[in-house]
Chains A and B, each alone.
Chain A
């Protein structure tokens, strides 16, 4: 063996060894774990990047202007004059929520009426009707036309050229909007959007005194001009007006985007952690298989340096191929997630930048360095004498060293994916969840082992196997129980929780809300409602829009208003002579409960609002309605049953207090077996009223939750896949030992049936234990969601248990048995020979 080894020889050795080990199946798990880790990060990072880009694309133009003034009232002439004086460009936008009709179909929409100069900043994109591509347009909807967003085409079953009824007006659908620079990211993004010319708005009849509208006055110009306008507004702005700039919009958006991105990446981190654990186990197994080979090669004269070179090259080449495949797979997975996200957000997602690619590749590198390399690192130090003395140390890194490096790698990944606080919370939460799942699992395992003694030999052997390999068993139980817990929670969100909430709604709760009914139309509305409901007892509520400004003559600051719920926007006021159903006085008195108290100037406040404001009976509050001040004394504090599905109000005034202020009327009614006829009748006779079918909203919410949770479900199935990698890795690491045990048992006379039986007990028990633990923990989390988030009574969900047990026993159990079959298919003599060799 004369020729000196060179780098070229080492590279050839690395490639040969890589191919041969791959062919022999020794690198399957290492490779798969790397692919999965990179794929998970690539999928979520690419999605997060595209969503972030979509929302940030027009960050500087997110408000379609340099500054806008938002108000629930008409735009004051003073604002317009100030802008004109500063020679600013201006535009007007009015937004409101209403119902759009197309034949028999109707849906709740966000209507946006714009002036011709809109947008002042950013670009409006519509769909090229020939190519389907998004193109920038300088036009806005002309008079008599409506531009709609794509999902309304299917919701309303309409096409370009069809008519859309909005209020009292029919508009021709002429364009499909693909992108608005100032598209909202709030709840309104879940409704369909329609854009129209602001000159048509009055003809719709939708904007009545007291209607709930948002008027925006947009300005743009040179920096000094805009700052001049801001300075003027700071002195002359009204309490009903709010200024928005790109800076304060950007802060809000960045917070939302950061939180969303952090959540997505941390969700992916769970999968990466599991894949990394599988990688570490598989690498350890691979390393232990290399010890004899490397000792032999060193005996032949290979230097430690050469061994290290080809070993590292082998892992790097494998890692590079795995990363490339992981990126491709991650892109495919992200595509499914992106389709859901684009539909949810109703946005066009631009192509990703290189950032997610880099993040995924670096994740792969950290996984290689943190999990694949440590078991292999000391192999070059193996003594060549090991070819004669198998009892010599195998130079594998100690478990504590590997675990320490692994924890550092995981912490690096998690901190890198998110902010420090998020990362700490995530790691802490994951650890806590793992601890709980592990404790429950171990308890159940102990019980199973105890009861297993009473069973036959299959049970004894099976449970003893689980108990003897406790560390592996615990790892598998924690991984799978957490995954099944997540899956169960998601399925509960999709099905049971919404249904539970619906079930607790009274049977005769209103299934219709009628809003924006003007005073002159009130009798017609009442007649129609009587005609379709058969009841004249349906209450109608007057509604006036305003906001509060002072407490006990002290003006509330902007910061104080920000702290209070709804403190910074217009809210709904009403008046009533009698205490409405679903309201209970807890402090003070209602105004008709004593003689002489049914007079103007009093207000009753909802309990939580009163607590936020720090007020009680006897205090006074000042309000602003249409710019006009109103002072009222607090007569009582109420608890409101918000779940009764009837109109409820934070502020109820005594009759006469709101006289002279513009108001509309609203009601809620239960119309059984209606099939939408009442809504159609209202649309024909009172087109300016807004008639909302509650079932449609609930179905929309349910659809939204289903789409959200299907995206989450996809993530959790990926995590389950990572968990299966852990299963295969732990089985693989114990396979030689299992074969040895099986060989001895069979040599001593045990049948193959006994071995298969004990394997079946072992893995089915593992799957069932994981499922039971997952179910128990999921029920705990769901109980918290039920009581805290949905304010329902906690209940168990046995309808979810079979699916969890099927996943546990079926997927985990059967795959575990399948992976372990070499234990019985390998002839005992071969196993014994392999071990003695």
Chain B
């Protein structure tokens, strides 16, 4: 379960303090999906970063499962991320020098997981890329790269998946296919999904949505 209580993020700038998020609260039950939606610059990605433990709020608290990550230092948060969290990014974030199977197996190898390569193969097959195991990102289309990224994220069997505009760099048809894949695998693994998007069609597929505008919650449904 994810609980954010009265979270604010204020950053200093040359002209004074800038409030990016202002007293945002939310909760997501295990296995549910939440879409964070809003216009550009609303603070969606900032909120995502805070929820994932990549950053710390100026005020408020955030709990991932039984861990209050706002009370932790970066090393402690890293351990929580290693245990709980997976990511899918708008820009795919595949490592260009690694093949598809290497990209997927990398996070498994980092944690010393055995059978990393076999699991990577398995997940690449699930996303329909069984024939592209040794291909490099530059040899793949955007949709194929995002499939590899999704395989990479789910291969680690995270409890929570954070997706930042996963279809943002894709055309609508490909984006639709990727969205289908994302939700299918999410359902299969019973992962809690937090999704940042500006696409309402994608947001509609989630169990709940949180509209952020100007750093504040506009709608919570």
Contact = CB atoms under 8 A, between A and B. Distances in A.
Interface string A297-312: 1111111111000000
Given A16-B109, A26-B97, A383-B55, 5 more contacts: A1-B110, A2-B83, A12-B109, A300-B87, A383-B54
Interface stretch (B72-80, B177-185, B211-219): B72-80
B91 A1 contact: no
Contact of A3 (B48, B80, B89, B111): B111
A1 B83 CA distance: 5
B113 A3 contact: yes
Contact of B54 (A297, A388, A834, A836): A388
Contacts of B164: 388
Nearest to B95: A293
Interface string A777-820: 00000000000000000000000000000000000000000000
B109 A298 contact: no
A387 B54 contact: yes
A300 B97 contact: no
B128 interface: no
Interface residues of B, number: 37
Interface in B149-191: 156, 158, 164
Contacts of B98: 20
B205 interface: no
A297 B152 CA distance: 12
Given A8-B112, A300-B107, A388-B54, A1 B156 contact: yes
A20 B83 contact: no
28 contacts: A1-B107, A1-B108, A1-B111, A1-B156, A1-B158, A3-B112, A5-B111, A6-B112, A8-B112, A9-B110, A9-B111, A20-B98, A20-B102, A26-B97, A296-B95, A297-B107, A300-B81, A301-B85, A302-B110, A304-B74, A306-B110, A383-B55, A385-B55, A387-B89, A388-B45, A389-B45, A830-B138, A837-B91
A389 B92 contact: no
A384 interface: yes
Interface string B87-128: 101011101111000100011111111000000000000000
Interface of A: 1-6, 8-9, 12-13, 16, 20-21, 23-24, 26, 292-293, 296-306, 383-385, 387-389, 830, 834, 836-837
B26 interface: no
Contacts of B156: 1, 300
B82 interface: yes
B49 interface: yes
Rank and list the top 5 A-B pairs by shortest CB-CB distance, nearest first: A301-B82, A24-B97, A9-B112, A301-B81, A385-B54
Contacts of A383: 54-55
A299 B152 CA distance: 13
A3 B107 CA distance: 12
Contacts of B96: 24, 834
Given A20-B102, A301-B78, A830-B138, A5 B112 contact: yes
Contacts of B111: 1-5, 9, 301
A387 B87 contact: yes
A297 B83 contact: no
Contact of A302 (B45, B82, B89): B82
Contacts of A298: 78
Nearest to A6: B112
A836 B138 contact: no
A682 B164 CA distance: 100
Given A2-B83, A9-B111, A303-B75, A387 B55 contact: no
Contacts of B110: 1, 5, 9, 13, 297, 300-302, 306
A388 B48 CA distance: 9
Query: Most B CB atoms within 10 A — which of A296, A299, A385?
Result: A299
A305 B79 CA distance: 12
B1 to A, nearest CB: 19
Contacts of B82: 1-2, 300-302
B14 to A, nearest CB: 15
A414 B67 CA distance: 55
A299 B102 contact: no
B83 to A, nearest CB: 6
B198 to A, nearest CB: 15
A385 B96 CA distance: 20
A231 to B, nearest CB: 78
Contacts of A5: 110-112
Residue among B87, B107, B112 having the largest count of chain A Cβ atoms under 10 Å? B112
Contacts of B95: 293, 296
Contacts of A16: 109
A299 B86 CA distance: 9
Nearest to B158: A1
Nearest to B98: A20
Contacts of A26: 97
A386 B148 CA distance: 21
Given A303-B78, A830-B138, A385 B97 contact: no
Contacts of A305: 75
A806 B102 CA distance: 45
Nearest to B196: A388
Contacts of A4: 111-112
B75 A304 contact: yes
Nearest to B165: A388
Contact of B81 (A6, A299, A836): A299
Nearest to B92: A837
A305 to B, nearest CB: 7
A185 B28 CA distance: 88
A202 B20 CA distance: 107
A1 B113 contact: yes
Contacts of A300: 81-82, 85, 87, 107, 110, 156
A4 B83 CA distance: 9
Contacts of A303: 75, 78-79
B93 A292 contact: yes
A388 B49 contact: yes
Contacts of B78: 298, 301-304, 384
A408 B4 CA distance: 50
A380 to B, nearest CB: 11
A181 to B, nearest CB: 61
Contacts of A385: 49, 54-55
A789 to B, nearest CB: 55
A5 B113 CA distance: 9
A389 B44 CA distance: 12
Nearest to B93: A296
A298 B93 CA distance: 13
Nearest to A296: B93
B75 A384 contact: no
Contacts of B107: 1, 297, 300
Contacts of B81: 299-301, 384
A389 B113 contact: no
Contacts of B80: 301
